Structure 1
Amino acid sequence: MPALIARAVAELGSSVSFNQVLRTVGSSFGTAISGAVIAVNHSADGRPTATGISATFGIGANVCLVVFGDLLAHAVVAGPRSDPAGSSRSSHRRLSRALPAPRAPQRLGWRPMSRISVVVPSYNDARMLEVCLTALATQTRAPDEIIVVDNGSTDDTVEVARAAGARVVSEPRRGVLRATACGFDAAVGDIIGRLDADSRPGPEWTARLEELFSADPTLDAVTGTGAFYGRGPVWHFVGRYLYLGGYFLFMGAAMGHRPVFGSSFALRRPAWRDVRTRIHLDDPRMHDDLDISFALGPEMGVAYDPALTVLVSARPFDTFSGFVRRASWGFHVVAVNWSDIGWLRRLWLSAQGQRRRRARRRVIARSASASLP
C-alpha cells in the first residue's frame, strides 16, 4: 500500500502542474477563511463561535482533500503529460507562460458572431486605461466597438479614451455596477465584453470570445481570471490562489454555478437584457460581477476559459481597510441575493436548469451531425 501511494504521488507530480496544486490548496483555505468571516458577520453578538469557525475550516479542509483526490485520480488514470509552452512579448510573457494552450471548443454547428463590443468602466484611472486601450488596439480580432464609461472622473480619463478612438458614455452616479450597466446598455454588439481599466488583455482576447460563443449556442457568459502585476510576488501568489481562487470556489458554491470575474468576462446581448431585470442598480455597494453572476438564469451556460486570463493590478491589496471594504461588499452581495432566492432553492434551480441545457446541447449536436454530408 505505501508503495502504491508513493507511485501515485510521483505520477501526480508529473501530470499535474504546481499551479494546479497551489490553486487547490489556496481555493480550499480561501473558502475556509471566507466561511469564518461569514461566521463572524452572522453571529448574534458579532463574535465568532468555536462551532462556526471549526465547521468552516473543516469544510475548507474537506474540499482540499476531495479536489486533491480528484487530481490524484487523474494522475493515475491519465499518466504524465508535458507542460504547454507559452510565448508572447512585453508584459504578457509572464502571463502566457502561466497559461495552458487554448483548447478548441466543441463546435455545435453555430455561425460566427458578427459584432463584439468591449465595455471598460473607469473612475480616475486614466494612466491604466491608456495601457488597457493600447492592448485592445493590438487585438488579432479587433473589437467592433470600445466603450469607456466615465463614472465621474476628475482626471483626463475622457481625453485618453477619445484619443484611443473609444466611444465615451457618462454615468455620473458613482458605483461600478451602475457604470457597467450604462456601458452594456449603450453597446450594440452581439457579444458584450467587460474589462477593468487596469486590465491588460492578451492579443487573442476578443478572438477567443468570438471562438467560444460561435462554437456553442447555449453559452451565455464566459469568464477568465487574473494574474496580478504590481507590488511583489507574495501578493501575486495571495491574489491568484487565495483571493481569486477563493472567489471562484466560494461564490460558485454560493450561487450554484461559476461566477464571472469583473476584469475579464463577456455576455451575449440577450443574456444581458434578461440579467438587467434582476440586478440591484439602486444599491451602491454592489460588485458588478457578483451581482450579474447571481442574476444569471438557471439555464444559462457559463464557461470558464483560462485563455481569457488578463493581467490586473494588485492595488486591492494596497491598504487593509480597502481590502476589508471590498470583502464586506462581497458578503453584502451574497446576503442580498440570498434574500431574493434562498441558497438551497438556488442550487436546486441551477441543477434543473443545467440539466435542461445539457439536453439542448445534445439536440443541437445531433442536428449538426445530421446536416454533415
Structure 2
Amino acid sequence: MTGFALGAEQEEWCGHLRALAADRLRPLADKGEPGRVNRPLLAALGELGLLERVFTSGALELCLLRESLAYGCTEAETALALQGLGAHPVLSSGTAEQRARWLPQVRAGRAVAAFALSEPGAGSDAAALALQAVRDGGAGSGSGHGDGGAGGWRLSGEKCWISNAPEADFYTVFARTGEGPAARGVTAFLVPADRPGLSGEPLDMLSPHPIGRLSFDGVPVGPQDLLGEPGRGFRVAMDTLNLFRPSVGAFAVGMARAALDATLAYTAVRPAFGGVLGDLQAVGHRVAEMATRTEAARLLVYAAAGAYDAGSPDVPRRSAMAKLLATETAQYVVDHAVQLHGAVALQRGHLLEHLYREVRAPRIYEGASEVQRTIIAKELYR
C-alpha cells in the first residue's frame, strides 16, 4: 500500500473476497436461523481459508478482509470476526497446550469461540467487572478440570450480552481475582462450555447472530486454564480490543460502501420530476457527503491498522478514533441511503433494510462511541 491507496494485489484480493461473499457465503447465510450460530457458514469460512487469515494477518489485512466480507455478506463477516475476537487471547496469551487444543478447530470452523467480557453492571467500563474467581482450597472439582488444590479457582457470577453465547464451544472469560484494585485484579481464563456449573440462555436481540447470558455457579478453573498471568487479564482484553477495534471500523466501512453503491445505482435510474433522482442537487449533494465521509472513515481505519502493524505507541488513540468515526459514519450513510430510496428500502429482505438493522450495534459493542471519545481524550492529555 502506497500512502492510503491499495496496491493492485490488494485491490484484486478485496474484489475476490467480495465475490466470495456474494456467491458462496450469502446463500449459506440466508439459510441460517436468526439468533443461532450458523455452523455451515463457519465451516465454509474455514474451508476457504478465511478463518486462518484472521490469525496470520496483520491489522491492515484483517481490516481489508472484514470490509470486503461486510460489503457482500455481513453475517459471514460477523461470524469470522467473532471467531477472531474469542480466540485471539488464546493465540496471544495461551499455553502451547491450549493453542494446540483449540486453534486448529477454530480455524477450521469446527469450534465456536466467544469473548466473555461484558456483565450486567459492567459493559463499557471493563475495569468494573464483578465476576468473582475465588481460590479453591477444597478437595478439587472431581472433574479433572481444576488443579484439585489451592492453585485453582471457582468462578461465580454472570456475563451478559456475549456474542455466540450460549452456543460457543469455549469462552475467553475475564474474572476478578483480586491481585489489585480495578483493572489490576482481573484475570483471563479459557473456559470450555462443558465445565460443570456453567450455563447460559439466549437473549432476544436486534442481531442475526446469537447473543446470550452466561451464569457461573462455582465453575472450576485451574492454572492450566489461565490466559496469561493472574492479575494481567485486563491487558489481555485491551490488547485484543486494540487489534479488533480498527477492524470493527472496517466492518462499518464495508456496510457504508455497500449502502453508498446501492444509492448511486438507484438514484441514477429512479425517475423523478422529469429526470432521475440523481439530477436533483439536493440528492447529489447528499450522495457527495455520504461518499466523502465514507472515504474519510476508510482512510482513518487503514491508518489505525498501519499504526498497529508498525508497533506505534499511539495505537489506543488511533484505534479508538477509527472505530468512532467509522461506526458513526456508517450509521449516517445507511440512514441517508434509506431516506433516498424511500419506502422500498424498508421492505423485509431489501439490502438497506438489512444494513439498517446491522449498522446500529457496532456503535455499542467493543466500547461504545462515548467510551472511544473518553479514550481519545485521555490519550491526548497524557
Give the TM-score, by structure 2 length.
0.24
Q: Which has the higher contact order (CA 8 A, sep 6+)?
A: 1
Task: Report the TM-score, using the length of structure 1 for normalisation.
Answer: 0.24
